[in-house]
Amino acid sequence: MAVVGFEIKDFESLGYTKGRLAELLPAVGLEVEGMTDAEVRTNVTPNRPDLLDFIGVLRLLDSFTGKSVPNEGRYTIKNQPVMNIEVAKEVKEVRPFIAGLVVKNVDLSGNTLKYLISFTDKFADTYGRRRAKLAIGLHNLDAIEGSELVYGAAAGGEEQHFVPLNSAKQMSFSEAVRSTEKGRTYGYTLGGAGTRYPFLKDSKKVLALIPIINSEATRVTEKTRELFVDITGTSRGTIDNAANLLACSFMYSGAEVYPVTVEYKNGAEVTPKPAYREVKVSLRNAERTLGVELGRHNVIGLANKMGYVAAKYGGNVQFFVPPYRVDVLNDQDVIEDLAISFGYDNIVAAPVSGYVDGLADELTEEENDMAVFMIGIGYTEAINSSLTNEKVNFENMRRKASADKYISIADSKTLSVSMLRTALLPALMQNLRESMNERMPHRMFEIGRVYGLEDKRPREAIHIALVSEHARANFAEIRSAVDEILKYTEMKDVEFKEARDEAFIAGRCASVVAGDNVVGVLGEMHPEVLERFGLEEPTVGAELTIVKEIKYEV
């Protein structure tokens, strides 16, 4: 989600008061993040980059209120190309595609330039995946020499020089990447060593280091009346969409758009080519999706409100999607717009027919029952995260880690997270520490999932662990508690065997053995373990396997 702010006065001058905006924006599907007397901030979902644009929002409000009725020819460009971009073969490996447009008679006064820059920046950050997939450059057309541009890629970053936007001195490409803020933010798109530096040049000079930063020479100001816009990227569909979207925006604002010819090695293209496109929508399907009898309403009117051109065609309706709607893939997206236009609040809720018995998950119910049993023997429940680290899970417990037995996390933002827990006891020890100042005895348990690896496959098990900390805690206490739990679980042929587990005091530690399987361990926690967890009183603990491996139905 991107948050975009506009000044209310800019809408007011176009006939939309603050009160009207508060009512209209949610109705058109645009979430209002915040609104003051001066400003409105909207939350734009990633499917609607057209609404990052002031003009885009205005256009939607205009169609929704009927102020303007969409028509199919609205964005047809009749002007002839006024510029030529030659694409060098070197760009193929780094950033193969470019589109461009020339805008004349543009008015960038007031907030318009600010909005335009914010729009293109956010567009390239979201839809353009932080400029990796798509980037947009705005240039003052007056500062471009001639009408023949070259889109190339330089092997070394040292040969060519330019003055980057907002800089005072000449820099090489590699220096611009290193020492400008944009360079540090977007330099990553170029890749590592041996990279090529994509650039745009006119007949005399570098216009931009792409997709990093433009040249100071073509700086756009509020007074600029003619623009050249470059759009570059790794996917032709994406840059064509962007070029069309931008063209529509400029045209709606009253400027004139001229196309640009792009000469690839294998043929020439003219961009942009904004045009309404037909999407087939069955009215019956739309009605069945929404549960609304659209046929009884003015479907054409509903479509127009959302910017679509629609026409009756025999007994059916034809829908034409405006060129700035890059998110509309097929009929489902149109149907959603019809729903928004109709108003979600106007859809009459209808119960789902047919009755099926509810059914609870067995394992969850087993855990619930067991938790209640544990409360009964005086233990309070804890729920801890499955995320932990080697120090807590192994080292503090004086246990050895073996890397092929547990699931580890590749790149965590938090140092304390590096693996999935293999046992429940460590977190309970942390809980005892957290509860240090509470009245003793401290008795806690957890029933939960632990994770491991077996033959490189993840394995999920259910364990129960319990701890008791107080001045007279001893082996007998925990043995007695485990005795009762084993009776509860009705585990057969269980016996205690002397065991060595470094977490416990030697000679005061037992394993629980059922047949050939070790299903648990219990004992007096080793003083060094207590020290590592910061505990001061004798503590006993146990951990038992309840379900050895969960087999999901999926």
Site residues for other proteins, 33-92, by CB under 8 A, read: 45-48
How many residues does this entry show for the chain? 554
Min. distance of Cβ 18 from other proteins in angstroms? 16
Q: Which stretch binds other proteins (CB under 8 A): 170-178, 275-283, 400-408, 538-546?
A: 400-408
Site for other proteins in 266-295 (CB under 8 A): 288-292
Nearer to other proteins by Cβ, of 255 and 423: the residue is: 423
Which residue number, 446 or 524, has a Cβ lying nearer to other proteins?
446
Q: Min. distance of Cβ 418 from other proteins in angstroms?
A: 9
Give min distance, CB of 417 to other proteins, in A.
Answer: 6
Residue carrying structure tokens 């644009």: 53
Please give the Cα distance from 203 to 147 (Å, whole number).
Answer: 8
Encoded amino acid at 194, one letter:
G
User: Cα separations (Å) of 207 from 34, 213, 500?
Assistant: 38, 9, 72
Going across the sheet that includes 39-44, the strands are 2-7, 39-44, 31-35
Q: Least distance (Å) from other proteins to the CB of residue 371?
A: 6
Site mask for other proteins (CB under 8 A), range 415-454, x = bound: -xx--x------x---xx-xx-xxx--xxx----x-x-x-
DSSP 126-191: HTTTTTTSEEEEEEEGGGS-SSEEEEEEESSSSS-EE-BTT-SS-EEHHHHHHHSHHHHHHGGGG-
Residues in binding contact with other proteins, number by CB under 8 A: 98
What is the maximum span of the chain, computed from C-alpha positions, in angstroms? 93
Of residues 360 through 379, those in contact with other proteins by CB under 8 A are 360-361, 363-364, 368, 371-372, 374-379
- Taking the least distance from each CB to other proteins, the nearer of 62 and 446 is 446
3-state secondary structure of 14: coil
Q: Could you say which residues in the range 193-232 bind other proteins, by CB under 8 A?
A: none
Please give the residues from 112 up to 171 whose contact with other proteins meets the rule CB under 8 A: 126, 129, 132-133
Which residues touch 255 (CB under 8 Å, ≥6 apart)?
103, 104, 105, 106, 107
Q: Which is nearer to other proteins, 261 or 435 (CB)?
A: 435
By CB under 8 A, is residue 358 in contact with other proteins?
A: yes
Q: How is residue 302 written in tokens? A: 């509903």
Among 78, 356, 493, 497, contact with other proteins (rule: CB under 8 A): 356
- Select the residue interacting with other proteins from 19, 109, 351, 516 (CB under 8 A): 351
* Separation between Cα atoms, residue 235 and residue 365, nearest integer Å: 51
Per CB under 8 A, the segment of 93-101, 103-111, 455-463, 510-518 that binds other proteins is 455-463
Please report how close the Cβ of residue 45 comes to other proteins at its closest, in angstroms: 4
CA separation for the pair 503, 509 (Å, rounded): 9
- Residue 164: CB minimum distance to other proteins, A: 27
* Whether the Cβ atoms of residue 154 and residue 197 lie closer than 8 Å to each other: yes
CB of 368 to other proteins, least distance (A): 7
Smallest gap from Cβ 400 to other proteins, in A, equals 17
Contact pick of 263, 460, 477, 528 for other proteins (by CB under 8 A):
460
Q: Which of 480, 522, 479, 478 is nearest to 503 (CA)?
A: 522
Tell me the C-alpha distance between 197 and 201, whole Å.
Answer: 13
Q: Taking the complex as a whole, how short is the minimal distance between the CB of residue 406 and other proteins, in angstroms?
A: 8
Nearer Cβ to other proteins (407/514): 407
**Nearest one of 135, 129, 122 to 214, comparing CA atoms:** 135
Which span sits near other proteins by CB under 8 A: 170-178, 254-262, 311-319, 414-422? 414-422
Q: How far is the CB of 469 from other proteins (least distance, A)?
A: 10
Residues 516-535 contacting other proteins, CB under 8 A: none
Q: Which of 78, 265, 354, 471 binds other proteins (CB under 8 A)?
A: 354
Binding mask 305-344 for other proteins (x = CB under 8 A): ------------------------xx-xx-xx--xx---x
The torsion of the CA quartet 330, 332, 333, 334, rounded to 10 degrees, works out to 90
Q: Which is nearer to other proteins, 155 or 409 (CB)?
A: 409
Among 109, 266, 353, 402, binds other proteins (CB under 8 A): 353
Nearer of residues 330 and 474 to other proteins, judged by Cβ: 330
Q: What are phi and psi of 515, to 5 degrees?
A: 65, -120
Contacting residue, 383, 476, 506, 518, with other proteins by CB under 8 A = 383
Whose Cβ is closer to other proteins: residue 221's or residue 364's?
364
The Cα–Cα gap between 475 and 505 comes to 10
Q: What are the two backbone dihedrals, phi and then psi, of residue 452, each rounded to the nearest 5 degrees?
A: -150, 180
* Residue 309 or 424 with smaller CB distance to other proteins: 424
User: H helices of 153-298, where?
Assistant: 173-179, 181-186, 236-252, 283-290
Q: Which 533-552 residues touch other proteins, going by CB under 8 A? A: 550, 552
- Rounded-to-integer distance, Cα 174 and Cα 161, Å: 10
Integer Cα distance of 444 and 382 in angstroms? 7
Binding other proteins (rule: CB under 8 A), the pick from 37, 404, 493, 516 is 404
Question: At what angle are helices 18-27 and 54-64 packed, to 10 degrees?
Answer: 80
What b/e sequence results for 478-497 when a residue is b if at least 16 CB atoms lie within 10 Å of its CB, and e otherwise? bbebbeebbeebebeebeee
Look-up of token digits 């007056």: 142
Nearest approach, Cβ of residue 71 and other proteins (Å): 25
